[in-house]
Amino acid sequence: MSRNSTTRPIGGDHGAALDVADNSHQIVQDIIALHGDQAPTAAAWCAFTAWCEGDDEEYRFWSRIFLRLRN
């Protein structure tokens, strides 16, 4: 489960970070709709996969999604 690369902030574009924050709300809603009660586990798996692949940006993204799902 990888997020769309067009949602990532582009260096120097200050508005892009806000787009990612807005998009993360939609991703939280989508992952809940797709995985129900197991949504935190799915997000944790995405974070773990990104960590194993050495993708720090993706890891941080999915870690934030996981934390939002836990709360």
Domain boundaries, the chain: 37-71
Tell me the per-residue pLDDT of 17-67, one tens digit each, with 9 for 90 and over.
Answer: 445 566 888 999 999 999 999 999 999 999 999 999 999 999 999 999 999
Query: Which amino acid makes up residue 62?
Result: W
pLDDT band at 2 (very low <50, low <70, confident <90, very high): low
What is the CA 68 to chain-centroid distance, rounded? 10
Predicted pLDDT at 23: 80
Under 8 Å between Cβ of 38 and 54: no
> Please, is 13 exposed, middle or buried when counting C-beta atoms within 10 Å of its C-beta (0-12, 13-18, 19+)?
exposed
Distance (Å, rounded) from C-alpha 19 to C-alpha 14? 10
Distance (Å, rounded) from C-alpha 39 to C-alpha 52? 20
Predicted pLDDT at 71: 77
